[in-house]
A and B are shown apart, each in its own frame.
Chain A
Amino acid sequence: MEYFIYGIGLIIGGGFFSLMLPEKAKGYAVSLFTGLGAACILSPSINVLLGQSIPSLAVEISYPIGTTNISIDHLSAFFLIIISVMSFIGTIYTIGYMKVYNGKGRTVTSHFFFLSVLIASMPLVVVVQNALAFLIVWEIMSLSSFFLLSFENEKEEVYNAGINYLIAMHIGVLFIITGFVLLSIKSESLDFNSFKDVLNADKWQTNIIFLLLFIGFGTKAGFIPLHTWLPKAYPAAPSHISGLMSGVMINTAIYGILRIITLIKLPSIEIAYFVLIISLISGILGVAYAIAQSDIKKLLAYSSVENIGVIGIGIGVGLLGMAYHKPSLTVLGFSGGMLHILNQSLFKSLLFYSTGVVYLQTHILHMEKLGGLIRPMLFTGICFLVGSLAISGLPPFNGFVSEFLIYWGMLTGLKSGYVLLSVMIVLSFSGLAFIGAMALLCFTKVFSIVFLGSPRSDLHEKPIDVHWTMKAAMGFQILLIFAIGFLPQYIFIGISKAAHGLFGEISPEIFTSYFNTLCDVSRGLAVFMGIFILLFLGRYLLLRKRRVYRYKTWDCGYQAGNTRMQYTGASYVEPFMTLIRPIFKTKIRENKPIGLFPSRSTYESQTDDKFEHAVIHPIIKRIEKFLNAFTWIQSGSTQQYILYGLIFLILITLWIMVV
C-alpha cells in the first residue's frame, strides 16, 4: 500500500517538478515521473491479482469526510493496471505531440501540470472507499481534464466544447451526489461497504439508487442519450488528451458502475434488462452516428459511444446471469465486458494517437480532404489499420476476444427455460453482430479514405512519420493488442481474477473448460496466420521470376482522371445512409448539374445528433425559461445591488435578534 502512495506522490511530484523546467524538458520529466509512479502503482496491483491479500489503509481526514478507507481489491487492481500503463504510454506520446507547441507562448506549463494532476487523480478514484472522498477526487479528475481539453482555448469551438464538457460533467456529478446522499442517509455512513446493507434491503429502493448512479456515471462514460459532450470534446482536445480521456478516463465511470454492482449482492432483473437495453441502443446508434461523420475525431468519439455500449452489453449479460442465477452467463458476460474495457483503452487511444500524427502533419481532420497517407506515413498507417481491425472486433486482434467471450456467454444462456431471457439473448446476440458489421463499414471507411488512394488535396508540406516517442508509444500498444489477440487464454486468467468481486470464485473445472476453449481459439488464429503466410509466400515465389509491372489504376480508358474522382467517405456510406434515412435525419443541400453545359454543382450533407436536438435541447430550453424568470435580479444597476446588500444586512440583523 505504501508503494501506491509513493506512486501517487511521484506523479504529482513530477507535475510540480515540471513547473520549474524549460518547456522542452517538461514532457520528459512528466513522462519519467509518471513511469516511476506507474511502476509503484503496478506492483501492489499485480500482487493482488496474483492472489496476495488485499492491502488497505485507513486515512483520517478531518470533518466532514472522516475516516477514509483506501484499499486495492481485485476490481481496483484491474483498473489501476489499465490506468497506470495507459497513462504512461500517453505521457510518452505527449512528449512528441507537444513539441510543436514549444516556444510559441502557449500555456504549456499549466498543461503539463494538469496532465500530472489528471493522471494522479484517476488511480485515486478507483481506490477510495468513501463517498465524499470519492466525489472530491472525481471532481479533481473532471476539472483537470477540463483544463487539458481547453488547451487551444482561443479557438471558439474549443472554448465552447470545454464549457459544454464542464457542464455535462457537473450534471452527471449531481446524480452521483444524489445517489450517494440517499445511500449515506440510509446507512448513516460514507463508507462504501456500509452501503451494502441499504442496497440489499429493498428492491425498488435499490433500483432507484442504481438508476441515479447509472445516469451519473453514464454521463461520463457516454451512454446514449447522455453522450452529447463526447463528439464535441474529443475533436476540440489535443489528440493525446482525447486518447487519455477516451482510453483511460471514461473507464473510471465504468469502474463506478461495476463498484455499485459489487455492492448490490443480488441485482434485480429490471436493472439487468435496463443496462442491457441501454447498452444495445448505445452500441447500435453510436456506430451508426460514427458512420455518418466526416471529421475523424468526431467519428472516433461516436465509436467510443459504441464501445461503451459493447462493454455495457457484457455487463448487462453478466447482470442477467446474476439475476437469473446462471453462473456461466455471469462469468463470461463480466469477463467479456471487463476485457473490452482493457481492449477499448488500447485500441481507442491508439486510433486517437495515430489521428494526432495525421493532424500534426497535415493540419486536417476532415477526411474528405485527406487520402493516400499510408505511403508517406507507413508506421502511422499500420497503427491506424491495427486499431481499426481491433475496434471492429476482428480476429486475430484483441477486440475479437472480448466480443467472443460476450457472445459465448450469451449462447450459454439460450437454453435457460425463461422465454423472455432467451428472446432478449437472441436479440442482443444479433444486435452485437449488427454493431460489429457496422463497425466494419465505419472503419473501412475511415481507414481507406484517409490512408489509401491518392491525396485529395494539396498539402503544404510533405507528411512524414514523426518523433520517435510517438512511434514508441504506438508501437507498444500494437504489441499489447497482438499479445491479447493471440494469447487470449492467459489474459483470461487475469480477467477472471479481476472480476472476482463480481462473481466470486469460479470452479476449477469450468475455468479449465473456458481456458481450453480460448486455447483452441488461439490455435485457430495460429492456423490462420500460418495459411496466410504460406499463401503469401506462394504468391511471392510464383511472381518472383515473372513480369510484375505497375500501371495506373484501371479507369475504363478515360484518360483525364484526377484524384477528386475517387470515392469519398460520404459516397462510401451513401447506400447505408439511404437505408437508415427514416431513422436519421440527414440534411442534404445539393445543387445538381443541369443541362448540356452544367455550371458548378455542389453537394453537402450533414447528419445531426437526434438526441441532442430531441432530448437534450428541449430540457435545456425548459430550464432556461424557468431561470429567465429571475433575470430581473441581475439588472446591472449599481443602486439595486446596494439595495440587495442593505436588505441582506437587515435580514441578518433580524435573524440575530430573533435567535
Chain B
Amino acid sequence: MIEILINAALLIILPLLFIGLINRVKSLWGGRQGPSIMQPVRDFLKLMKKGEVISTTSSFIFKIAPSITFASIILAGLIVPMAGGRSILSFNADFIFFAYILATGKFFAIIGAMDTGSSFEGMGASREAVFSSLVEPAFFIVIASIGILGNVSTFEGLMRLSGGSGELKMLILMLGAGTLFIMLLVEGCRVPVDDPNTHLELTMIHEVMVLDNSGPDMGIIMYASAMKMIIISSIIANMVIPESMAFGLSLASYLAVLLVLAVIIGTIEAIVARLRMSHVPQFLFYMTAISVIILSIIVLTVSGGMK
C-alpha cells in the first residue's frame, strides 16, 4: 500500500522536475546560468492562473481534447510499473490497454490540433500521426519478444525475465532499453526528433500542434507531455534495475536511473542538432531494427541455438 502511495506521489511530482532537470543540464553544457529546476513548475502554475483565447474556427473538440489527452496519460501512468517495479493498477494484458489508452489521447491531441484549421497545426498533427505509426509496431515487437522469455500476464511481470542466462537477459534488456529510449525521444518531443524550444517553425511536431492552446489547457498539455516522459522512463528504469531488491534500494535506483536519463537527454540536446525532417523516419527505423534483433536473439535462445 505504502509503495503504491509513493508511486502515486512520484507520478505527480516527478514530471515537471524531470523537464527542469533536462533544461538545467542543457544550460550547464551551454555555459549559461540557466533557469532553476523549479522553472517548469512555475510556468505551469502561471498558466493555470490565466484565461484562454479560443479560435473562432474551433468546435467543442478543441475544448475537450487536452483534458482527454491528459486523462489518458494519467491512466497510462497508473498502469506503468514505477519504483520497485510496482504499478498502481495492474491486470492481465494491461500493457495493451496502456498502449491503446495512450493512442486515444493521441487521437484527441491530433483532432484538437486539426480543429483550428491552421496549416501549421495540421502539419504537426500529420507528422505526429505518421511517426507514431512507425513507433507503435516496434514497441509491440519489443514487448512481445520479451514476453517469450518473461511472464507475459501483466506489465509488472513483463519486466521480470524468467528464461535465459544472466548475460543474455542483460543483452536483451539493454537493447530493449535502447529501443525505448528512442521512443522516449519521439514521444517526449526531444532532440533529435523534435525541438521543444522553438514554437513556430515548420520543422516542429508536438510544439506546433498546440500553437492555439493557451491558459489552463496549455498548462495541462505541458504537464501531460512531461508525464509521458516519466512513464516511458519508468519502463526503461524497470528494465535496467535488477529485480530482487528491497523497496527502498529499488526506489533509490529508480530515481538514479531517471536522473541519468535526464542528464543524457539534456546532453544530447546540448550537443546534437535536430535531424532533418526527412531523416526522422530513418531514425525511427532504428527502433524497428533493434526490436527485430531482440526478437531474433530470443528466438535463437528458445530454439537452443544460443546458450
Chain A: which residue is nearest B284 at the CB level?
Answer: A579
Complex Cα spacing A436 to B99, Å: 11
A45 vs chain B, min Cβ distance (A): 31
Which of B53, B75, B119 is within 8 Å of A565, CB to CB? B119
Which of B50, B114, B130, B138 is within 8 Å of A567, CB to CB? B114
Complex Cα spacing A414 to B93, Å: 13
Complex Cα spacing A545 to B94, Å: 40
If A389-B107, A426-B148, A433-B140 touch, does A567 touch B57 (CB 8 Å cutoff)? no
Whether A193 sits at the interface, judged by CB under 8 Å, is: no
* CB-defined contacts of A443 to chain B, threshold 8 Å: 107
Q: Are B59 and A520 in contact (CB under 8 A)?
A: no
* CB-defined contacts of B29 to chain A, threshold 8 Å: none
Chain A: which residue is nearest B78 at the CB level?
Answer: A527
Q: Are A553 and B57 in contact (CB under 8 A)?
A: yes
If A440-B133, A567-B122 touch, does A429 touch B89 (CB 8 Å cutoff)? no
Q: Are B67 and A441 in contact (CB under 8 A)?
A: no
Q: Are A407 and B67 in contact (CB under 8 A)?
A: no
Which of B74, B110, B200 is within 8 Å of A531, CB to CB? B74
* CB-defined contacts of B116 to chain A, threshold 8 Å: 453, 553-554
- Interface residue total, chain A, C-beta cutoff 8 A: 87
If A524-B91, A546-B52, A553-B56 touch, does A436 touch B147 (CB 8 Å cutoff)? no
* CB-defined contacts of A385 to chain B, threshold 8 Å: 61, 111
* CB-defined contacts of B103 to chain A, threshold 8 Å: 392, 394, 436-437, 440
Binds A, one of B168-176, B181-189, B258-266, B295-303: B295-303
Which of B56, B101, B115, B220 is within 8 Å of A535, CB to CB? B220
Chain B: which residue is nearest A396 at the CB level?
Answer: B104
Q: Are B71 and A528 in contact (CB under 8 A)?
A: yes
Q: Are A430 and B122 in contact (CB under 8 A)?
A: no
* CB-defined contacts of A400 to chain B, threshold 8 Å: 100
Chain B: which residue is nearest A531 at the CB level?
Answer: B71
If A452-B59, A454-B57, A551-B56 touch, does A408 touch B93 (CB 8 Å cutoff)? yes
Q: Are B52 and A543 in contact (CB under 8 A)?
A: yes
Binds A, one of B10-18, B209-217, B248-256: B209-217
Which of A411, A430, A529, A572 is within 8 Å of B125, CB to CB? A572
Which of A425, A563, A574, A576 is within 8 Å of B144, CB to CB? A425
A528 vs chain B, min Cβ distance (A): 5
Whether A566 sits at the interface, judged by CB under 8 Å, is: yes
> Which residues of B in the span 132-149 have a Cβ within 8 Å of any Cβ on A?
132-141, 144-145, 147-148
Interface of A is mostly: helix
Whether B31 sits at the interface, judged by CB under 8 Å, is: no
* CB-defined contacts of A546 to chain B, threshold 8 Å: 50-52, 215
> Which residues of B in the span 260-299 have a Cβ within 8 Å of any Cβ on A?
278, 281, 291, 295, 299
Whether A423 sits at the interface, judged by CB under 8 Å, is: yes
If A426-B148, A565-B119 touch, does A571 touch B78 (CB 8 Å cutoff)? no
Which of A411, A549, A565 is within 8 Å of B93, CB to CB? A411
> Which residues of A in the span 541-567 have a Cβ within 8 Å of any Cβ on B?
542-543, 546-556, 563, 565-567
Whether B152 sits at the interface, judged by CB under 8 Å, is: yes
Q: Are B200 and A429 in contact (CB under 8 A)?
A: no
What are 19 pairs between A and B in contact, CB < 8 Å? A392-B107, A408-B92, A408-B93, A411-B93, A426-B295, A429-B144, A430-B137, A432-B140, A440-B106, A444-B107, A453-B117, A513-B92, A524-B97, A535-B220, A546-B51, A553-B212, A554-B120, A565-B119, A573-B126
Kindly list 20 other residue pairs between chains A and B, CB separation below 8 angstroms, not including A392-B103, A566-B118: A395-B101, A396-B104, A403-B100, A411-B153, A425-B144, A429-B141, A436-B136, A452-B115, A452-B117, A453-B116, A454-B117, A524-B94, A535-B220, A543-B215, A550-B55, A553-B55, A556-B200, A565-B119, A572-B126, A572-B129
Binding site for A on B (CB under 8 A): 48, 50-59, 61, 63-64, 66-68, 70-72, 74-75, 78-79, 89, 91-94, 96-97, 99-101, 103-104, 106-107, 110-111, 114-123, 125-127, 129-130, 132-141, 144-145, 147-148, 152-153, 200, 211-212, 215-217, 220, 278, 281, 291, 295, 299, 302-303
